[in-house]
Amino acid sequence: MKSEIRNEKEILLKLDDVHVHYGGVHALDGASVAIDEGEIVALMGPNGAGKSTVLKAIFGIAPVHSGEVLWHEKRFKPVPHEVVARGIAFVPQGRRVFKYLTVEENLEIGGFIVGDKKELARRMAEVMETFPALKAKRRTKSGTLSGGQQQMLAIARGLMVDPKVLLLDEPSLGLAPKIVKEVFENIKEINERHGTAIVVVEHNIKSILGIVDRAYVLAKGKVAAQGKPEELLSSGVLEKIFLGEK
Protein backbone atom coordinates (compact mmCIF):
# COMPACT_ATOMS: atom_id res chain seq x y z
CA MET A 1 0.00 0.00 0.00
CA LYS A 2 2.79 2.34 0.95
CA SER A 3 4.58 2.19 -2.36
CA GLU A 4 1.39 2.83 -4.31
CA ILE A 5 0.79 6.05 -2.56
CA ARG A 6 4.24 7.48 -2.54
CA ASN A 7 6.14 8.34 -5.67
CA GLU A 8 9.86 8.00 -6.25
CA LYS A 9 10.95 11.08 -4.31
CA GLU A 10 13.39 10.66 -1.48
CA ILE A 11 11.80 10.22 1.91
CA LEU A 12 12.39 13.42 3.80
CA LEU A 13 11.51 12.45 7.34
CA LYS A 14 10.81 9.05 8.72
CA LEU A 15 9.99 7.44 12.03
CA ASP A 16 10.92 3.82 12.04
CA ASP A 17 9.35 1.52 14.61
CA VAL A 18 9.46 4.13 17.34
CA HIS A 19 8.52 3.21 20.89
CA VAL A 20 7.95 5.94 23.47
CA HIS A 21 7.42 5.01 27.10
CA TYR A 22 6.17 7.34 29.81
CA GLY A 23 6.82 5.09 32.75
CA GLY A 24 4.37 2.26 32.21
CA VAL A 25 2.41 4.09 29.52
CA HIS A 26 3.44 3.12 26.00
CA ALA A 27 2.51 6.31 24.18
CA LEU A 28 4.02 4.95 20.96
CA ASP A 29 4.22 1.24 20.47
CA GLY A 30 6.15 0.74 17.28
CA ALA A 31 4.93 3.57 15.09
CA SER A 32 6.34 4.09 11.60
CA VAL A 33 5.52 7.26 9.74
CA ALA A 34 7.08 8.79 6.63
CA ILE A 35 6.82 12.24 5.10
CA ASP A 36 7.89 13.08 1.57
CA GLU A 37 9.08 16.39 0.36
CA GLY A 38 6.32 18.90 -0.21
CA GLU A 39 3.36 16.79 0.82
CA ILE A 40 0.70 17.43 3.40
CA VAL A 41 0.09 14.52 5.71
CA ALA A 42 -2.56 14.25 8.38
CA LEU A 43 -2.14 12.39 11.66
CA MET A 44 -5.49 11.30 12.99
CA GLY A 45 -6.78 9.22 15.84
CA PRO A 46 -8.68 9.38 19.09
CA ASN A 47 -7.48 11.20 22.20
CA GLY A 48 -4.39 9.60 23.65
CA ALA A 49 -3.62 7.70 20.45
CA GLY A 50 -0.09 9.11 20.35
CA LYS A 51 -0.41 11.82 17.71
CA SER A 52 1.36 14.50 19.69
CA THR A 53 3.94 11.97 20.76
CA VAL A 54 4.89 11.32 17.13
CA LEU A 55 5.72 15.00 16.72
CA LYS A 56 7.52 15.15 20.05
CA ALA A 57 9.59 12.09 19.18
CA ILE A 58 10.81 13.86 16.04
CA PHE A 59 11.86 16.79 18.20
CA GLY A 60 13.57 14.73 20.84
CA ILE A 61 11.24 15.94 23.57
CA ALA A 62 9.60 12.59 24.19
CA PRO A 63 11.35 9.68 25.94
CA VAL A 64 12.11 7.47 22.93
CA HIS A 65 12.75 3.96 24.14
CA SER A 66 13.68 2.40 20.82
CA GLY A 67 13.35 2.98 17.10
CA GLU A 68 14.81 5.63 14.86
CA VAL A 69 14.10 9.04 13.46
CA LEU A 70 15.63 9.55 10.03
CA TRP A 71 16.19 12.74 8.05
CA HIS A 72 16.96 12.14 4.38
CA GLU A 73 17.31 8.49 5.30
CA LYS A 74 20.04 9.29 7.82
CA ARG A 75 19.90 9.09 11.58
CA PHE A 76 20.32 12.29 13.50
CA LYS A 77 20.44 13.29 17.11
CA PRO A 78 16.94 14.29 18.06
CA VAL A 79 17.60 17.31 20.27
CA PRO A 80 15.59 20.44 19.54
CA HIS A 81 18.34 22.73 18.23
CA GLU A 82 19.63 20.02 15.88
CA VAL A 83 16.11 19.38 14.65
CA VAL A 84 15.36 23.05 14.04
CA ALA A 85 18.68 23.50 12.31
CA ARG A 86 17.66 20.86 9.77
CA GLY A 87 14.56 22.85 8.91
CA ILE A 88 11.88 21.14 10.97
CA ALA A 89 9.53 23.43 12.86
CA PHE A 90 7.04 22.52 15.53
CA VAL A 91 3.76 24.26 16.28
CA PRO A 92 2.65 22.63 19.51
CA GLN A 93 -0.82 21.67 20.60
CA GLY A 94 -2.58 24.52 22.37
CA ARG A 95 -0.56 27.14 20.39
CA ARG A 96 1.68 28.00 23.36
CA VAL A 97 2.42 31.52 22.22
CA PHE A 98 4.28 33.63 24.77
CA LYS A 99 1.39 35.69 26.03
CA TYR A 100 3.42 38.35 27.78
CA LEU A 101 5.54 38.97 24.71
CA THR A 102 4.49 40.92 21.66
CA VAL A 103 3.73 39.37 18.30
CA GLU A 104 7.09 40.56 17.03
CA GLU A 105 8.96 39.15 20.02
CA ASN A 106 7.24 35.81 19.56
CA LEU A 107 8.38 35.74 15.96
CA GLU A 108 11.93 36.65 16.96
CA ILE A 109 11.94 33.73 19.34
CA GLY A 110 10.75 31.50 16.52
CA GLY A 111 13.74 32.64 14.46
CA PHE A 112 16.23 32.11 17.27
CA ILE A 113 18.59 29.93 15.26
CA VAL A 114 18.62 32.31 12.31
CA GLY A 115 21.22 34.52 13.98
CA ASP A 116 21.65 37.11 11.25
CA LYS A 117 19.55 40.19 12.04
CA LYS A 118 18.86 41.18 8.44
CA GLU A 119 17.76 37.71 7.51
CA LEU A 120 15.51 37.66 10.58
CA ALA A 121 13.88 40.92 9.53
CA ARG A 122 13.37 39.65 6.00
CA ARG A 123 11.64 36.52 7.22
CA MET A 124 9.51 38.45 9.64
CA ALA A 125 8.30 40.66 6.82
CA GLU A 126 7.58 37.55 4.79
CA VAL A 127 5.48 35.78 7.41
CA MET A 128 3.60 38.97 8.11
CA GLU A 129 2.71 39.06 4.48
CA THR A 130 1.22 35.59 4.82
CA PHE A 131 -0.66 36.68 7.94
CA PRO A 132 -1.65 40.34 7.50
CA ALA A 133 -3.68 40.25 10.74
CA LEU A 134 -0.42 39.80 12.63
CA LYS A 135 1.24 42.70 10.92
CA ALA A 136 -1.38 45.08 12.26
CA LYS A 137 -0.80 43.74 15.76
CA ARG A 138 2.96 43.41 15.68
CA ARG A 139 3.51 45.35 18.89
CA THR A 140 0.55 43.88 20.75
CA LYS A 141 1.04 41.42 23.61
CA SER A 142 0.05 38.14 22.06
CA GLY A 143 -2.06 37.18 25.08
CA THR A 144 -4.62 39.72 23.93
CA LEU A 145 -5.01 38.21 20.46
CA SER A 146 -8.05 36.13 19.59
CA GLY A 147 -7.73 32.36 19.50
CA GLY A 148 -7.51 32.33 15.73
CA GLN A 149 -4.88 35.03 15.68
CA GLN A 150 -2.86 33.18 18.30
CA GLN A 151 -2.99 30.08 16.15
CA MET A 152 -1.78 32.09 13.17
CA LEU A 153 1.00 33.51 15.32
CA ALA A 154 1.97 30.02 16.44
CA ILE A 155 2.20 28.92 12.81
CA ALA A 156 3.99 32.10 11.76
CA ARG A 157 6.49 31.58 14.57
CA GLY A 158 7.22 28.14 13.21
CA LEU A 159 7.71 29.55 9.72
CA MET A 160 10.47 31.88 10.90
CA VAL A 161 13.08 29.22 10.24
CA ASP A 162 11.92 28.72 6.65
CA PRO A 163 11.19 25.09 7.45
CA LYS A 164 11.23 22.20 5.03
CA VAL A 165 8.80 20.41 7.31
CA LEU A 166 6.19 22.04 9.48
CA LEU A 167 4.66 19.97 12.26
CA LEU A 168 1.24 21.28 13.30
CA ASP A 169 -0.43 19.82 16.35
CA GLU A 170 -4.20 20.34 16.24
CA PRO A 171 -4.24 23.83 14.77
CA SER A 172 -8.05 23.74 14.67
CA LEU A 173 -8.44 23.14 18.40
CA GLY A 174 -10.99 25.46 19.96
CA LEU A 175 -11.51 27.57 16.85
CA ALA A 176 -14.78 28.44 15.16
CA PRO A 177 -15.41 26.59 11.86
CA LYS A 178 -14.95 29.74 9.82
CA ILE A 179 -11.57 30.40 11.41
CA VAL A 180 -10.57 26.76 10.98
CA LYS A 181 -11.24 27.11 7.30
CA GLU A 182 -9.04 30.18 7.18
CA VAL A 183 -6.23 28.43 9.02
CA PHE A 184 -6.36 25.49 6.63
CA GLU A 185 -6.30 27.85 3.67
CA ASN A 186 -3.16 29.39 5.14
CA ILE A 187 -1.63 25.96 5.53
CA LYS A 188 -2.37 25.08 1.93
CA GLU A 189 -0.94 28.38 0.79
CA ILE A 190 2.29 27.86 2.74
CA ASN A 191 2.62 24.42 1.21
CA GLU A 192 2.06 25.64 -2.32
CA ARG A 193 4.19 28.73 -2.12
CA HIS A 194 7.24 27.31 -0.42
CA GLY A 195 6.89 23.59 -1.02
CA THR A 196 6.91 23.09 2.72
CA ALA A 197 6.00 19.58 3.77
CA ILE A 198 3.34 19.70 6.45
CA VAL A 199 2.30 17.18 9.06
CA VAL A 200 -0.97 18.18 10.62
CA VAL A 201 -2.67 16.52 13.55
CA GLU A 202 -6.41 16.75 13.07
CA HIS A 203 -9.47 15.10 14.54
CA ASN A 204 -11.94 15.92 11.88
CA ILE A 205 -11.02 14.39 8.53
CA LYS A 206 -13.77 16.26 6.70
CA SER A 207 -12.18 19.61 7.42
CA ILE A 208 -8.84 18.63 5.90
CA LEU A 209 -10.06 16.36 3.16
CA GLY A 210 -9.41 18.95 0.52
CA ILE A 211 -5.87 19.77 1.49
CA VAL A 212 -4.07 16.61 2.61
CA ASP A 213 -2.30 14.16 0.33
CA ARG A 214 -2.25 11.28 2.78
CA ALA A 215 -3.34 10.48 6.29
CA TYR A 216 -2.21 8.16 9.05
CA VAL A 217 -4.67 6.90 11.58
CA LEU A 218 -3.13 6.14 14.95
CA ALA A 219 -4.68 4.04 17.67
CA LYS A 220 -3.04 3.01 20.92
CA GLY A 221 0.41 4.07 19.83
CA LYS A 222 0.34 2.17 16.53
CA VAL A 223 -0.47 3.07 12.96
CA ALA A 224 -3.86 1.44 12.45
CA ALA A 225 -4.43 2.63 8.90
CA GLN A 226 -3.02 4.94 6.30
CA GLY A 227 -3.89 6.12 2.84
CA LYS A 228 -5.49 8.84 0.82
CA PRO A 229 -8.26 10.60 2.70
CA GLU A 230 -10.98 9.45 0.30
CA GLU A 231 -9.86 5.84 0.66
CA LEU A 232 -9.90 6.09 4.43
CA LEU A 233 -13.32 7.65 4.35
CA SER A 234 -14.85 5.03 2.12
CA SER A 235 -13.16 2.07 3.80
CA GLY A 236 -15.03 2.65 7.05
CA VAL A 237 -11.83 2.26 9.03
CA LEU A 238 -12.27 5.66 10.63
CA GLU A 239 -15.65 4.81 12.10
CA LYS A 240 -14.20 1.62 13.48
CA ILE A 241 -11.33 3.38 15.21
CA PHE A 242 -13.10 6.48 16.42
CA LEU A 243 -16.38 4.86 17.45
CA GLY A 244 -15.18 1.37 18.18
CA GLU A 245 -13.47 2.42 21.38
CA LYS A 246 -14.71 4.63 24.10
In angstroms, rounded to a whole number, what is the distance separating the alpha carbons of residues 14 and 82? 16
| Residues 109/101, Cβ–Cβ less than 8 Å | yes
The reply on whether position 204 binds ligand ATP by CB under 6 A is no
Q: Which of residues 15-74 bind Mg ion (CB under 5 A)?
A: 51-52
* Nearest to ligand ATP of 80, 195 (CB atom): 80
Q: Which of residues 46-75 bind other proteins (CB under 8 A)?
A: 59, 61
- The residues with which 225 forms a beta bridge, in sequence order, are 217
The reply on whether position 186 binds ligand ATP by CB under 6 A is no
Shortest spacing between CB 167 and Mg ion, in angstroms: 12
Query: Tell me, what amino acid is at 10?
Result: E
Shortest spacing between CB 205 and ligand ATP, in angstroms: 14
| Residues 129/113, Cβ–Cβ less than 8 Å | no
| Residues 166/197, Cβ–Cβ less than 8 Å | yes
Q: How many residues bind other proteins (CB under 8 A)?
A: 20
Shortest spacing between CB 117 and ligand ATP, in angstroms: 36
In angstroms, rounded to a whole number, what is the distance separating the alpha carbons of residues 46 and 184? 21
Element (H, E) at 2: helix 2-5
φ, ψ dihedrals at 215, nearest 5°: -140, 145
The reply on whether position 48 binds ligand ATP by CB under 6 A is yes
Q: Which of residues 85-104 bind Mg ion (CB under 5 A)?
A: 93
Q: If DSSP states are collapsed to H, E and C, what string results for 215-231?
A: EEEEECCEEEEEECHHH
Element (H, E) at 178: helix 177-194
Q: Which of 18, 31, 33, 49 binds ligand ATP (CB under 6 A)?
A: 49
Shortest spacing between CB 192 and other proteins, in angstroms: 25
Q: Which of 92, 163, 221, 229 binds other proteins (CB under 8 A)?
A: 92
Q: Which of residues 70-109 bind ligand ATP (CB under 6 A)?
A: 93
In angstroms, rounded to a whole number, what is the distance separating the alpha carbons of residues 79 and 83? 6
Q: How many residues bind ligand ATP (CB under 6 A)?
A: 12
Which residues contact ligand ATP by CB under 6 A?
A: 22, 25, 27, 45, 47-53, 93
Which residues contact other proteins by CB under 8 A?
A: 59, 61, 80-81, 84-85, 90, 92, 96, 98-101, 105, 108-110, 112-113, 157
